[in-house]
Amino acid sequence: MHVMRLRDPVTLLFPAKNTGVAVAVAAVREYAVQAGLPGADVPRVGQATEEAALYAIRFGYGGEQERLVLKMSTNAVGLRLTIRSKGLPLREQDLPQFDPSRLRAEGDATGLDAFLIRKLMDSATFSVRPGGVREVTMIKHLPLPVSQNDEPHDVPVAKVGSGSEANLVVRLARLEDAEDISRLALRSHGSIRFEEDIYYPERVHEMIAHGEMVSMVAVTDTGILAGHGALVSDLPGSNVEELTYGFAAPEFRGHGCTWEIADRLLADALARGVVAVVASAVTNHVKSQRSALHVGLKECALLMAVSPASRVWREADGATPGRISDVVMVRRLGDMPDRTLFPPERHWDMIGRIHERLGLRLRYGQATAPLPSSEARVEVLADVKDGWAWVVVVNYGHNVIDEVLAHVLLLREQGIPSILLFLPLDSPASGGVSTTFEEKGFFFAGVSPDKRGRENLILQQLNGVAPDYDTIRLFSPFGQELLAYVRACDPNG
């Protein structure tokens, strides 16, 4: 059987009537077969497509002369189906939901189509786009490919010290480990590239000596360095740290040493009073995501084209060289301060889902306050070589919009491909400000604590690069849902 290539999307335009729906369903079923979906899932995908098309027709206002757009695509993780239509601008999550008891008692099937779509697919997103366009995005996972360096996720991995041949010991790094850490970072270099400090022995020695980095290593009984991981804080005294510099020697991968290192680092962070640990995982493969999920980190933001193209590409990756997107993952080790957050209402549902997965129960308030009369405080961190920039609003002020846009203009003129905007959510001014910036070309990326521990809304803007959503690989079902949501918010998605 010929298996469809990774990047063979198909778009079908069909009339908003039953005969058109039947043709669309037949096309989806054949596409699913060609894409390699397991046989038992093919009819489920077909039924979900039928429900989504009928859902679009029910909320449409163009009648049978209206045309629905169905886009079918695959990536290395799943089958992605999107149905676009013009219809009533109603948010599905705010509509009455399906109630089985009402169906039995009254025959009331309200919300049944959306309910079935979610049951039949691994994830489903309902969104309203500008211009009265409604969109239903559905994802069904394909079997994960197994390669030499990517074992199946359901195969248990031996823990350090549980009888594996490695016989590794995890301990805090010592000053004399600096040379070996840098050498191992270079040996492990492939589809991940870290901040350059880790490749310089003198700089690693300095970070360990001055406490800039809490570094853990896995070492064999003969003294060979097998793995490394670290917690780093860029802001002295910060109670939010980044889990990074995680790598293992090729001959020790699969022994669980990086997981054990991460567990030990998190226990150390908890003992030191760190309230949140943040990590960034690349999306051109799922290995680092799986490791982060294993130690309790959860997805909170998707940053498009934020990392330079990989130096090493395998044909089996099914991708061509291009800038890499990162998924931000976080684990809360302590409670957030008891305060109200003011996210923009149009993103309440997704932000609420993120916070719920992190175990947070937060109050959201309507963002209606005007900007304060004081001057805004805006900080900019940029790396022209790697092609990213952070524009961080520390405090709102009357001039915040002009201040941010001036920085963004300069960054665009410098050719920075990925510009990230961080807005503090503990201010009632967040809603109006974020609306203005989204009208200026920014779109939703997610939320994350900053180095001061404040929860921030992250918006993003791309400059001269096209978002290559079809090459992004996210491991968990929620990661797939976040990807669909970010894509729906992107005006060029």
Residues 108-144 pLDDT 10s: 778 888 899 998 998 888 888 777 788 898 988 876 4
Residue 242 makes CB contacts below 8 A (sequence gap 6+) with 231, 232, 233, 234, 277, 278, 279, 280
Asked if 274 and 239 count as a contact pair (C-beta separation under 8 A), the reply is: yes
480 has pLDDT over 80: yes
The pLDDT value recorded for residue 64 is 62
Give the pLDDT band of residue 102 (cuts 50, 70, 90): confident
What pLDDT score does 237 carry?
66
Question: Is it the case that residue 192 has pLDDT exceeding 50?
Answer: yes
If we measure between CA atoms, which residue out of 399, 392, 457, 402 comes closest to residue 430?
A: 457
Q: Which residue intervals of the chain bear CATH 3.30.565.10?
A: 10-141
Q: Specify the range with the lowest mean pLDDT, choosing from 17-26, 235-244, 338-347.
A: 235-244
Domain 10-141 top-level CATH class? alpha beta
Is the confidence at residue 318, as pLDDT, over 60?
A: no
Q: What is the pLDDT of residue 312?
A: 45
Between 299 and 151, residue with greater pLDDT: 299
Which stretches of 345-476 are DSSP H helices?
348-357, 400-413, 430-439
Pairing of strands 388-395, 418-424: parallel
* Chain region(s) in the chain for CATH 3.40.630.30: 158-266
Query: Is 335 a residue whose pLDDT tops 80?
Result: no
More confident residue, 53 or 102: 53
Q: In this structure, what are the phi and psi dihedrals at residue 230, rounded to the nearest 5 degrees?
A: -155, 160
Helices (H) and strands (E) in the chain, counts: 12, 19
The pLDDT mean for the chain works out to: 83
pLDDT higher at 383 or 326: 326
> pTM of the entire structure?
0.66
pLDDT reported for residue 236: 66
Dist. CA 391–CA 83, nearest whole Å: 35
Mean pLDDT across 197-225 = 90
Give the model's pLDDT for residue 391: 96
Q: How many CB atoms lie within 10 A of CB 378?
A: 20
Q: Which residues of 49-65 are buried (b: 16+ CB within 10 A; e: fewer)?
A: bbbbbebbbebbeeeee
Domain 158-266 has CATH 3.40.630.30: yes
**Judging by DSSP bridges, how do beta strands 276-282 and 240-248 pair with one another?**
parallel
